[in-house]
Structure 1
């Protein structure tokens, strides 16, 4: 038989069926591969975390406003119990009977110290929500609490603000944003945006003078509708130095350069109180993200050498910096050469973060070194021999009673509780102020207040009947929304790992009068 060439085989169709099958298999494989790839892409692009919360492009953070009926803790196990308690309370509210308050804090922070504060503020806010809904003699509206996360460093503040703005209409009826947290540039921008949209803001732990109204400048009230529970840095510095009775020429200043809103205003406040000092202020330059270590530990080692070179009569160091840098400075002072000389470091409320700081060398506090700071609140402030005005033991006991109830159902559990850093107390007071403003703004015959009317209540929060009797002290606001002559606990870090209450101090040098009416300025 004659041999056939390949061309003959093809022409005669001998390979025709196998070729068609081969092409079909190739096509099917391509379709399956494409389908698998598409599923993977779609799964990868599904960046939702929970209702109202998602991951922005190129970010692993879940940011936004958690609006779902179920609890969402932003992946932070320490927040779970408090978040579940809030979800239970929100679930029992009937549509049309409530307004929403958002607690805006950096829930995705990776700093254990920051997360302690967030946990405690969240617990305090929930307790105030529960109290408002159950122990207010039927006052309305009821309060729904949601969590708003602008990101660990506030990078996505605009994204959260846009969501909050949409929530002011419809069934959410958002009427206030509380919390905010640290006095940072990102938070400053978020507060500016919120108040421009006429959304009232209640700052819990912000103390910076330039994140406040009534501080002068071209626009005396750049944040219309902002109220604060904490004193300004200037008021804290006034209270601290009056307590310490600084002797002229016996103190020096160490400060953050170029500074941020908190450190800069604290530096200016301290500098104004240091006239006559023999020494120029000494700067240090931290990383832009002041939660990072950077190389400032080297600078502090050098500064402590200079501290030892000062006149023996110099015994007080005013520190204007964030808590990470404060911890580095304390550790450096613990290794200073002049261990025989006693020094006292005076600083602002950022030092409260060090209450639970594991990397702080507490042994340094056993070697002629004291660290005193202005706390936003302290559980011992109203327990023993409280002053006749400015706050009361009864007001703090109300919070204590709630905390006892929160150890079990139906109020709790809310997770492990700590009070000596002041954050739970100040979170509780901030939300109580929000509730006060909301309910005072309700017009006769209306179920909920108009959004713009809530912020108009702040100038009237004063006097014997309209002030808020906070667990941290009386909250009597001036016409700019700042607390007048607010109680400032002076607290000392201890080698044992706690914050010991020393004494109450006052920006005006003494507690406010019974009427708690700010004088003309």
Structure 2
């Protein structure tokens, strides 16, 4: 294993002294984060500066998972005759001064799933013969801004060696503009990517891109089926006005996929939501809420449904303001979509007060699966997840653990189906990913398969519709 190579995006000597890695100081950063490449032996954030006890505890648990990954990577290097590398590219730290692309709890859950998958692919035959070759997991921290600078991408690619090639990149963070940038960069280099939670439709069909997460179009198609079984009459879209691939494609999917299912008002309401560079300003929903009541009282198409095309981070403020509307006597149903939307839970008192019900499409419905039968391989995953020391099943609720588990096992399954010996060549993986058709990957979220024309998106998935409490 190469020495972990880390670039620091902060000129903070005190932090640098506690990082157990070969370090190169690059420059100062407004986010006070350590970015770079590691095999788990690097503490990106030791939590010493965290004042919030809950976040400090979460950071400590994250660091313990890094150590688990390091131990497995070291075992593979010492014991496996042949092994390859898979990179987990995503934010592994948050900013203490700005909004972050992914909250700390979701980083922890993503690592839980990735580590569980790593142990499974190296010890069971579920995803191809682990005796043929084993896998090291390379951790690539993009930081809270989802950095895609060339130096970071180059350091990740440098971890590829002839005997231990970097076969694929998984994760990719959330759907932001930088996600499109990095997918284009890696696609041009011929490297396969398996996304965990990115649902923006702008990514669908990009070169060498696959995803175990549904696209926004697929999410809204599932919501359309749900709406057909409800007594809902007219919907008003509420959309983030920012240049955001996730929210803009979700708004477009609402307009296109719900046509003929429910009346969708053309008077789409816009708001300037928070971004990873700029938090939302107070009162951002004031005018929107006033117009909602106008739409509720419309004589021709009185609205009873709102289509929320915004980020989860802005949703609590939206529900707070919506609960105070003057037309609170009319029940409103809010529809939205995202893996990770369960992180907005805890709004039940406001929703009850505001006569509001919220339903969202997601990539999983763990831990309880909303009273339905779980996917066929979920319990095997759950047993191994618990065996690795992750005993709080509620951590599965936001879907991040399951999605990142499924992304890694899909990449490894494809690699083990390649014919190159003793280890597959990275250029073999796109073909093998496309060939995951009739014999699907046994994902924790259900069978994973692709088909021609799907643009790398998973097909045939039973997308759950969850109610937010």
Shift of residue 427, structure 1, vs aligned partner: 1.2
**Aligned residue for 2:417?**
440
Task: Output the CA distance in 2 between the equivalents of 1:277 and 1:383.
Answer: 28
Shift of residue 420, structure 1, vs aligned partner: 1.3
**Other structure's SS at 1:134 match:** coil
Task: Output the CA distance in 2 between the equivalents of 1:101 and 1:259.
Answer: 31
**Aligned residue for 1:17?**
none
Question: Match for 1:487 among 451, 459, 462?
Answer: 462
Pairs aligned (count): 428
Report if aligned partners of 2:239, 2:270 keep a CA contact under 8 Å in 1: yes
Shift of residue 376, structure 1, vs aligned partner: 1.4
Task: Output the CA distance in 2 between the equivalents of 1:99 and 1:84.
Answer: 20
Distance 1:259 1:321, change over 3 A: farther
Report if aligned partners of 1:301, 1:332 keep a CA contact under 8 Å in 2: yes
* Range with bigger deviation, 46-55 or 374-383: 46-55
**Other structure's SS at 1:116 match:** helix
Task: Output the CA distance in 2 between the equivalents of 1:385 and 1:43.
Answer: 52
TM-score, L = length of structure 2: 0.83
Task: Output the CA distance in 2 between the equivalents of 1:493 and 1:84.
Answer: 34
Question: Match for 1:476 among 435, 449, 458?
Answer: 449
**Other structure's SS at 1:319 match:** strand
TM-score, L = length of structure 1: 0.75
Question: Match for 1:326 among 306, 315, 326?
Answer: 315
Shift of residue 429, structure 1, vs aligned partner: 0.8
**Other structure's SS at 2:114 match:** helix
1:401 aligns with 2:371: no
Report if aligned partners of 1:462, 1:476 keep a CA contact under 8 Å in 2: yes
Question: Match for 1:241 among 194, 218, 224?
Answer: 224
**Aligned residue for 1:152?**
144
Report if aligned partners of 1:120, 1:424 keep a CA contact under 8 Å in 2: yes
**Other structure's SS at 2:76 match:** coil
Task: Output the CA distance in 1 between the equivalents of 2:142 and 2:12.
Answer: 26
Task: Output the CA distance in 1 between the equivalents of 2:88 and 2:396.
Answer: 19
**Other structure's SS at 2:408 match:** helix
**Other structure's SS at 2:357 match:** strand
**Aligned residue for 1:18?**
none
**Other structure's SS at 2:396 match:** coil
Shift of residue 63, structure 1, vs aligned partner: 0.6
Q: Which has the larger radius of gyration?
A: 1
Report if aligned partners of 1:208, 1:266 keep a CA contact under 8 Å in 2: yes
Structure 1: segments with no counterpart, 5+ residues: 1-40, 214-221, 387-391, 408-412, 495-521
Distance 1:134 1:343, change over 3 A: same
**Other structure's SS at 2:465 match:** strand
Report if aligned partners of 1:49, 1:55 keep a CA contact under 8 Å in 2: no
Question: Match for 1:82 among 60, 65, 87?
Answer: 65
**Other structure's SS at 2:88 match:** strand
**Aligned residue for 1:286?**
273
Distance 1:187 1:242, change over 3 A: same
**Other structure's SS at 1:426 match:** helix
Report if aligned partners of 1:61, 1:151 keep a CA contact under 8 Å in 2: yes
Shift of residue 313, structure 1, vs aligned partner: 4.0
Report if aligned partners of 1:395, 1:471 keep a CA contact under 8 Å in 2: yes
Question: Match for 2:431 among 453, 456, 459?
Answer: 456
Shift of residue 354, structure 1, vs aligned partner: 3.1
**Aligned residue for 2:35?**
63
**Aligned residue for 1:506?**
none
1:372 aligns with 2:344: no
**Aligned residue for 1:132?**
121
**Aligned residue for 1:141?**
133
Shift of residue 293, structure 1, vs aligned partner: 2.7
Q: Deviations over 1:418-458 (max 9, x none)?
A: 11111111111111101111111242xx1211111112211
Task: Output the CA distance in 2 between the equivalents of 1:302 and 1:54.
Answer: 53
Shift of residue 92, structure 1, vs aligned partner: 0.8
1:263 aligns with 2:247: yes
- Structure 2 counterparts to residues 89-488 of structure 1, below 5 A: 89-94=72-77, 97-110=82-95, 114-136=103-125, 138-170=130-162, 172-213=164-205, 222-223=206-207, 225-245=208-228, 250-272=234-256, 273-274=258-259, 276-289=263-276, 292-295=279-282, 296-311=284-299, 313-349=302-338, 352=341, 354-355=343-344, 360=347, 362-379=349-366, 384=371, 386=373, 393-407=375-389, 418-443=395-420, 446-463=421-438, 466-479=439-452, 480-488=455-463
Report if aligned partners of 2:339, 2:400 keep a CA contact under 8 Å in 1: no
Task: Output the CA distance in 1 between the equivalents of 2:370 and 2:401.
Answer: 17
Task: Output the CA distance in 2 between the equivalents of 1:78 and 1:356.
Answer: 22
Task: Output the CA distance in 2 between the equivalents of 1:369 and 1:45.
Answer: 46
Task: Output the CA distance in 1 between the equivalents of 2:351 and 2:414.
Answer: 45
Task: Output the CA distance in 2 between the equivalents of 1:162 and 1:306.
Answer: 53
Distance 1:372 1:44, change over 3 A: closer
**Other structure's SS at 1:102 match:** strand
Shift of residue 485, structure 1, vs aligned partner: 2.6
**Other structure's SS at 1:57 match:** coil
Q: Deviations over 1:328-375 (max 9, x none)?
A: 211111111122111100001166153457xx5742345420111011
Task: Output the CA distance in 2 between the equivalents of 1:255 and 1:86.
Answer: 40
Q: Deviations over 1:46-86 (max 9, x none)?
A: 79945366553122321111146x35343332312211211
**Other structure's SS at 2:33 match:** coil
